[in-house]
Structure 1
Amino acid sequence: MDAELEANIQQALPSALKMALYAANKQYHELLKYTIEGVDSLCNNAAFLKDLEDQEHLQQLDETAKDFAVLETQLRRYKAQLKSLEPLVESGRLEQSKIDKLLKSALAKPRVNASKHDFYKKFCDRAGVVPVVSWFVFCGVVADANVMHVSSHHASEQQRSQAVAAADQDEEDDEEEYVVE
């Protein structure tokens, strides 16, 4: 009886895993949709608060925008993991160790450079804010390339674009890092 039950389970497992994978992909698309809607709403609120010059609430929205950047990065990672499972599910070779690895990886929180993330860039554009982490400009007067911090309220548009361009060039090779906490 136990052998027959085990055989039935093994026979039904591939189709059950396919259904679970389909549901997980659908879940990913729903989460991404709501995340994008959240970012759009956040950006609309940022533009409104910018017009009111409400710095306190803009700072809170700035932190939320960074959280959306982390969330989208996690969703992208989740989608990549689901995609890597598809051939294993199709072939019926998905092992418990692979599922355990996926779950552990899903719990990892990425360290994201928000200033390079499209969601955060969109927020900054709508809020009229220049990302602080990109606000380092090389001083052209001093030969040893001293770095001077530029305040977002006093910087010219040219300084802002130079700072962003320099930061983007320096960070092109950055990889996302995941840490399990």
Structure 2
Amino acid sequence: MDAELEANIQQALPSALKMALYAAKKQHLELLKYTIEGVDSLCNNAAFLKDLEDREHIQQLDETAKDFALLETQLTRYKTQLEKLEPLVESGRLDQPRIDKLLKDAMAKPRINATKHDFYKKFCDRAGVRCPQKLSFNSLERDVEMEVIIARSHHASGQQRSQAAAAMDEDEDDDEEYVVE
């Protein structure tokens, strides 16, 4: 009886997973639609507050615009994970560890630079706020690495010069030792 039940579950599982995947894709599109509508509403409010010169509320909307940028990034990641999941569901090679990993990856909060996101740029434009240009973490990390490389090369070339000078001094000392009077 248990073997028959297990066989029925295994037979029904691929179609059930396909239905769940379809529902997740539909959910993604709905969330994206509501996110875009939210950004549009936020931008309209920002334009209204700009006309009233209400900087305090514009600052609060600024934080909300950054949150919308983060949300859209998370939705994009979610869609990517769904796309990775689809061939596994189609082939029937989906197992629990893969599902857990995909869920963990999709739920992780991404680090983003909101100032480079289209939603935030649109908000800044409508609010009449100058969009700040922050350094991204990657470019900052790259700059630090370059500084370290340059410092090491200067240090190494300084050491080479001092070693060369020391070698020349030794040569001079050697010359003095072999001078016959």
TM-score band by shorter chain is 0.7 to 0.9
- Write the mapping of 1:31-180 to structure 2, written as runs, cut at 5 A: 31-132=31-132, 134=133
3-state SS of the aligned residue for 2:110?
A: strand
3-state SS of the aligned residue for 1:70?
A: helix
Higher helix share: 2
Measure, in 2, the Cα distance between the counterparts of 1:46 and 1:98. Answer: 43
3-state SS of the aligned residue for 1:112?
A: coil
Q: How many angstroms does 1:104 deviate by?
A: 1.1
Measure, in 1, the Cα distance between the counterparts of 2:90 and 2:103. Answer: 20
Q: How many angstroms does 1:131 deviate by?
A: 2.3
Amino acid at match of 1:29: L
Measure, in 2, the Cα distance between the counterparts of 1:74 and 1:16. Answer: 25
Q: TM-score, normalised by structure 2?
A: 0.74
Measure, in 2, the Cα distance between the counterparts of 1:66 and 1:130. Answer: 14
Measure, in 1, the Cα distance between the counterparts of 2:130 and 2:6. Answer: 60
3-state SS of the aligned residue for 1:110?
A: coil
Q: How many angstroms does 1:72 deviate by?
A: 0.1
Measure, in 2, the Cα distance between the counterparts of 1:110 and 1:77. Answer: 9
Measure, in 2, the Cα distance between the counterparts of 1:71 and 1:40. Answer: 14
1:122-174 Cα deviation digits (max 9, x unpaired): 00000011123x17xxxxxxxxxxxxxxxxxxxxxxxxxxxxxxx69x95xx9
Amino acid at match of 2:46: A
3-state SS of the aligned residue for 1:111?
A: coil
Q: Give the share of equivalent positions with the same residue, in percent.
A: 81
Measure, in 1, the Cα distance between the counterparts of 2:87 and 2:105. Answer: 19
1:6-30 Cα deviation digits (max 9, x unpaired): 0000000000000000000000000
Amino acid at match of 2:35: T
4+ residue runs over 6 A deviation: none
Please say which structure displays the higher CA radius of gyration: 2
Gaps of 5+ in 1: 136-166, 175-181
Q: TM-score, normalised by structure 1?
A: 0.74
Gaps of 5+ in 2: 143-181
1:21-61 Cα deviation digits (max 9, x unpaired): 00000000000000000000000000000010000000000
Higher strand share: 1
Q: How many angstroms does 1:95 deviate by?
A: 1.0
Q: How many angstroms does 1:77 deviate by?
A: 0.3
Measure, in 2, the Cα distance between the counterparts of 1:121 and 1:110. Answer: 19
Q: How many angstroms does 1:107 deviate by?
A: 2.0
2:29: which partner in 1?
Answer: 29
